Amino acid sequence: MPAVCLAVVSCAAQAQEEWVSYRDAYKQMVVFAKYGKPKNFLQIHYEVRPRDPSSSLEGLHLTLTGKNTQLNLPLDATGRAVFPLLKAAYDDNAVLALNRRMAGYRFAPRVTIIARNDGIYESADLQAACEQALAYQRYIDASYGSKKCGGVRFVFGNRADALVQAKYGPREAPLPVVDGPAFDGETLGTYRTATYRFADWSAQGQVVSQNTPLAIAPLFE
């Protein structure tokens, strides 16, 4: 009997190294869909993050597979995928899998700010977006209770694309571009980022991005 139990545990561990339960991911992601407070400036993705900061996302593929489901979930340059909420896949107990060893990656929801097509952001809207994101984080994680919104981070893949300016009346200045991770608390990846801090500019100003960012991340302090 002990040998059988050990085999079962071993098989379960091996399975978890090869796939992630769609049901488990669904339960995490559906919280945002059902969240009743303001979220009009926000979006949510399913993020795949390498545990090794030196690992690349290039060539990484995420698939959803079930009895009646077979979908490729494209990952963007920050490792995020649009996550479908599918009853059929949930009922089938479908699985999420990568074309690489699963144990080398972390999987979690990621809330970011929706990018505008015209690239023009009112400072007040960016502050409201950050506050919406913080309210949601507090809703799912009590440890965010003491956090405050410090600003937003515009994330780009190429330095040539990272052209972001802050404006208020006659005052106008480009935001400094630095290399670093896309999101707070991460060490993964070297992106070109431009940070807009609310304390440095008037709430009546604007931020103008010449190119569409890969992501706009709220910054909590």
Q: Which of 164, 125, 151, 153 is nearest to 41 (CA)?
A: 125
Provide the domain limits for residue 191: 116-220
Are 173 and 136 in a shared domain? Answer: yes
Burial class (CB in 10 A: 0-12, 13-18, 19+), 217: buried
Are 121 and 102 in a shared domain? Answer: no
Predicted confidence (pLDDT) at residue 186 exceeds the cutoff of 50: yes
Q: What is the pTM of this model?
A: 0.90
CA distances from 62 to 8, 74, 75, 97, 152 (A): 27, 7, 7, 6, 28
CB of 215 closer than 8 Å to CB of 146: no
CB of 151 closer than 8 Å to CB of 198: yes
Are 101 and 182 in a shared domain? Answer: no
CB of 216 closer than 8 Å to CB of 113: yes
CB of 163 closer than 8 Å to CB of 121: no
Sequence-distant (≥ 6) Cβ neighbours of residue 160 within 8 angstroms = none
Predicted confidence (pLDDT) at residue 11 exceeds the cutoff of 70: no
Predicted confidence (pLDDT) at residue 14 exceeds the cutoff of 80: no
Are 93 and 38 in a shared domain? Answer: yes
User: Is 1 strand, coil or helix?
Assistant: coil
Domain boundary among 55, 81, 111: 111
> Looking at the 3D structure of the chain, how many domains does it have?
2
Q: Output the average pLDDT for the chain.
A: 91
> 56 pLDDT band (50/70/90 cuts)?
confident
DSSP code of residue 21:
E
